[in-house]
A and B are shown apart, each in its own frame.
Chain A
Amino acid sequence: MTPAISITGLHKHYGAKHAVDGLDLDIHEGEVFALLGPNGAGKSTTVEILEGFRKRTSGNVTVLGTDPHHGDRDWRAQLGIMLQSTSERSFLSAREALTHASRQYSNPRDVQETLEAVGLTEKANAKPQTLSGGQRRRLDVALAIIGRPRLVFLDEPTTGFDPEARRQFWRLISTLRSDGTTIVLTTHYLDEAEFLADRIGIIAGGKLIALDTPAGLRARATDATVQWKEDDVARFETTPTPTALIAELSSRFGGEVPELSVTKPSLEDVYLDLIGRVGDAGLDASEGAAA
């Protein structure tokens, strides 16, 4: 099957700064793909190139079979785009904004159902100035999906959400995925990427440094941390062979080891380790680029 998104040798230079520095990536139809990376890594630059908002310096990109730089009306009708910035200035209520947006599509989602899906029914008719930052963000999500897009881009969608709103957003993404929608999201939240994504791409210094399923990424961590208490002092040791360490501890203590625990590293640990290695290798992961 042709991928929903195909990127080969993508470069984006701002003067001497290489915001995207040779990116190759295919994103499949129906996949939820999370793009992770530190600020300035090139996530948003990449996404904005895919959305047709930025010109690339070089490389080949197709999104739903079209070069985004030449994306036309037919192409945009199949996309749902949520920008990183939120609309602050509006004179329309959430319901009005959604109703008007829905009229640009031939087969839109139901406005009421969409309001429910993002949890804005109670605020549907409220004056736009009374919406909180998180509520505006939810309206942005609703606007991105109102046209029943085949492919949705969500650029840091849950920034400013309270925990309940995030859970609700996650459920919404699951529903979209079960409808066969392809979803590309950028996020800073590892738990979000782990919960939602079929695959995670980690980008740093404009390069893809890891591409795997959440489970595959986790499995990269071989070491476990063993913690226990000895002489009233909390001790820990990181080891690739925790069983052997525990056997040794057990014989030392002659049975039970006080306050023993073994933790596998979280996805966050794996992520920080990967990002850290890029930084240590002196690659160009500098701050301040158009993120």
Chain B
Amino acid sequence: MSATTVAHPSWISTAYDRMIVELKEFFRSREQMIFIFAFPVIFLLLFGTIFGGQDLGDTDVTFPQYFLAGMIATGIINTGFQSLAITISIDRDADALKRLRATPLSSTAYFVGKLAQVLVVSVIQIAILIGLGVAVYDVTIPTSAAAWLTFTWVFLLGTAASVTLGIATSSLLRNAKSASAILTPVVLVLQFTSGVFVVFTQLPSALRTFGEIFPLKWLAQGMRSVFLPENFAMAEARQSWEHPMAALVMAVWMTAGLIVAVRTFRWQRYDDN
């Protein structure tokens, strides 16, 4: 009876199936839907209303156009980091992860299912924001292949960093209650210091330096390089979009998140052993 050969369904099919489960759970959760889809839209409209069509300095970029890129960036963080960390913590508290662990599901299929869900939700969220930007704030959608190539790597790298950090954070926090209590202010501070709610170059230099440590600043700047005119680069902190630096900072955070996530991930509650 020892070495029995056991057949398993293909990895691809189980990972795909996990993605479908994750998407169903997401779209049926009203709290998540509101947080992920309504929240960035409300903020974009709010900031657009407050600042109207004012131009930024002597550029021809308006405040709402600037904030659109920031909202896309923060949307990726909200979905991939904040919301992911909280839902994993909730699932762990409710023994849902333990239940999954009782099945032959492979860990990688579980995480890839989560990542795929985040990607799908983020694409929808970004499409909504861009649609709003075009309809209300005269944002022009880039047409060059180069711009979309930039969008693709900035989006994928930003999402990957968010997801590895989100999974890592879910394991470091003791339970779901502390997850939302701690993560909400953390993300809020980053939003103010990363050029999301406030134009980055208008921040005091100490806050700018602080913001530059974290990936949200680089994700937002990368998105501005896609959605704002080329010459706006001159109005950035270092008169450049700084793509290599953006890629480096996000990659470092992604790697750090991955290492912590792999080492600390738990399928069971802290008090369950």
A interface, CB within 8 angstroms of B: 1-2, 29, 51, 53-55, 64-66, 73-74, 76-79, 81, 83, 85, 87-89, 91-92, 96, 100-101, 103-107, 143, 147
With A53-B272, A83-B98 as known contacts, state yes or no: A104 contacts B24, CB within 8 Å. no
B7-29 CB contacts (< 8 Å) to partner A: 7-9, 13-14, 17, 20-21, 24-25, 28-29
- The complex places the Cα of A79 from the Cα of B105 at a distance, in Å, of 12
Q: Is the CB of A2 within 8 A of B1?
A: yes
Q: Does B2 make an interface contact (CB < 8 A)?
A: yes
Chain B residues lying within 8 Å of A101, measured Cβ to Cβ, are 103
- The complex places the Cα of A90 from the Cα of B96 at a distance, in Å, of 9
Q: Is the CB of A107 within 8 A of B1?
A: no
**Can you sample 28 A-B contacts with CB below 8 Å?**
A1-B1, A2-B1, A64-B1, A65-B1, A65-B3, A73-B6, A74-B4, A76-B102, A76-B104, A77-B6, A77-B8, A77-B104, A78-B6, A87-B96, A89-B90, A89-B91, A89-B94, A89-B96, A91-B25, A91-B28, A92-B24, A96-B24, A100-B17, A104-B105, A105-B8, A106-B6, A143-B99, A147-B103
Chain A nearest Cβ from B175, distance in angstroms: 14
Q: Is the CB of B9 within 8 A of A106?
A: yes
Chain B nearest Cβ from A152, distance in angstroms: 11
Considering only CB atoms, which chain B residue lies closest to A85 in the complex? B95
Considering only CB atoms, which chain A residue lies closest to B26 in the complex? A91
Chain A residues lying within 8 Å of B7, measured Cβ to Cβ, are 106-107
- The complex places the Cα of A91 from the Cα of B29 at a distance, in Å, of 7
Q: Is the CB of A92 within 8 A of B21?
A: yes
Chain A residues lying within 8 Å of B95, measured Cβ to Cβ, are 83, 85, 87
Q: Is the CB of A65 within 8 A of B2?
A: yes
Chain A nearest Cβ from B94, distance in angstroms: 5
Chain B residues lying within 8 Å of A89, measured Cβ to Cβ, are 90-91, 94, 96
With A51-B102, A77-B104 as known contacts, state yes or no: A87 contacts B6, CB within 8 Å. no
Q: Does B268 make an interface contact (CB < 8 A)?
A: yes
Q: Is the CB of A104 within 8 A of B103?
A: yes
- The complex places the Cα of A38 from the Cα of B91 at a distance, in Å, of 30
Q: Is the CB of B21 within 8 A of A100?
A: yes
Q: Does B273 make an interface contact (CB < 8 A)?
A: yes
The 7 A-B residue pairs with the shortest CB-CB distance, nearest first, are A81-B102, A106-B7, A77-B104, A91-B28, A65-B2, A74-B6, A91-B25
Q: Does B106 make an interface contact (CB < 8 A)?
A: yes
- The complex places the Cα of A29 from the Cα of B21 at a distance, in Å, of 34
Chain A residues lying within 8 Å of B273, measured Cβ to Cβ, are 53-55
- The complex places the Cα of A65 from the Cα of B4 at a distance, in Å, of 9
Interface residues on B, range: 20 to 34
Query: Main SS of chain A's interface residues?
Result: loop
Q: Is the CB of B102 within 8 A of A79?
A: yes
Cβ 8 A contact of A53, one of B90, B91, B98: B98
Chain B residues lying within 8 Å of A104, measured Cβ to Cβ, are 8-9, 14, 17, 103-105
With A78-B4, A91-B25 as known contacts, state yes or no: A83 contacts B102, CB within 8 Å. yes
- The complex places the Cα of A282 from the Cα of B145 at a distance, in Å, of 80
| Given A53-B273, A104-B14, A104-B104, 18 new contacts (CB under 8 A) | A1-B1, A51-B102, A53-B98, A53-B272, A55-B273, A73-B6, A73-B8, A74-B104, A77-B104, A87-B95, A88-B94, A89-B94, A91-B28, A92-B21, A96-B24, A103-B9, A106-B7, A106-B9
Chain A nearest Cβ from B36, distance in angstroms: 15
Chain B nearest Cβ from A99, distance in angstroms: 9
Q: Is the CB of A76 within 8 A of B103?
A: yes
Chain B nearest Cβ from A91, distance in angstroms: 4
With A91-B29, A105-B9, A106-B8 as known contacts, state yes or no: A100 contacts B96, CB within 8 Å. no
Chain B residues lying within 8 Å of A105, measured Cβ to Cβ, are 8-9, 104
Chain B residues lying within 8 Å of A1, measured Cβ to Cβ, are 1
Chain A residues lying within 8 Å of B21, measured Cβ to Cβ, are 92, 100
Chain B nearest Cβ from A121, distance in angstroms: 21
Chain A nearest Cβ from B171, distance in angstroms: 17
Chain A nearest Cβ from B147, distance in angstroms: 37
Most buried by A among B6, B96, B98: B6
Chain A residues lying within 8 Å of B24, measured Cβ to Cβ, are 91-92, 96
- The complex places the Cα of A96 from the Cα of B101 at a distance, in Å, of 19
- The complex places the Cα of A222 from the Cα of B8 at a distance, in Å, of 53
Chain B nearest Cβ from A52, distance in angstroms: 8
Chain A residues lying within 8 Å of B3, measured Cβ to Cβ, are 65
Chain A nearest Cβ from B102, distance in angstroms: 4
Chain B residues lying within 8 Å of A100, measured Cβ to Cβ, are 17, 20-21
Q: Is the CB of A53 within 8 A of B103?
A: no
Chain B residues lying within 8 Å of A79, measured Cβ to Cβ, are 102
B86-132 CB contacts (< 8 Å) to partner A: 90-91, 94-96, 98-99, 101-106
- The complex places the Cα of A54 from the Cα of B102 at a distance, in Å, of 12
Chain A nearest Cβ from B111, distance in angstroms: 15
- The complex places the Cα of A103 from the Cα of B16 at a distance, in Å, of 10
- The complex places the Cα of A92 from the Cα of B96 at a distance, in Å, of 13
Chain B residues lying within 8 Å of A106, measured Cβ to Cβ, are 6-9
